[in-house]
Amino acid sequence: MSLLIPIDTNPTFTPKDGLPLPERLISGSPKFKTWAQDDSRGEMIKTGVWEATPGETHSIKGTTFEFCHILSGLIEIKETGGETFTFRAGDSFVMKPGFVGIWRTIETVRKIYVCVYE
């Protein structure tokens, strides 16, 4: 197994489809697609590509650390008690463990993600 894993930003394999948990949905009817591309460390670290259609949800990281790089689309993220950030293609950010806020997908977004779970 190679220790270098390229991330395919336009994967051709079938994604895992998903919806927000009902208690996290604020508005709209966002749908999610996940193209997991590496979880060789079991449930500890996951990488891949994720896509979401417009809508607004509560984002709660718990003990998860997540790095995101936006490939396309437009989102706003507001941390509870903090400011609102806008991210678009080319932008990157980190949500640290304990993050709580609102994720608003304005235009269908596609991102590369790296999640580290405790």
Closest among 117, 64, 66 to 87, alpha carbons compared: 66
Q: Are strands 45-52 and 32-38 parallel, antiparallel or unpaired?
A: antiparallel
Q: Which tens digit of pLDDT belongs to each residue from 57-113? A: 999 999 999 999 999 999 999 999 999 999 999 999 999 999 999 999 999 999 999
Q: Which CATH superfamily is domain 17-116 in?
A: Jelly Rolls (2.60.120.10)
Q: Which tens digit of pLDDT belongs to each residue from 56-68? A: 999 999 999 999 9
- Tell me the CB-side half-sphere exposure of residue 11, using CA atoms within 13 A: 20
Domain ranges of the chain: 17-116
The reported pTM is 0.94
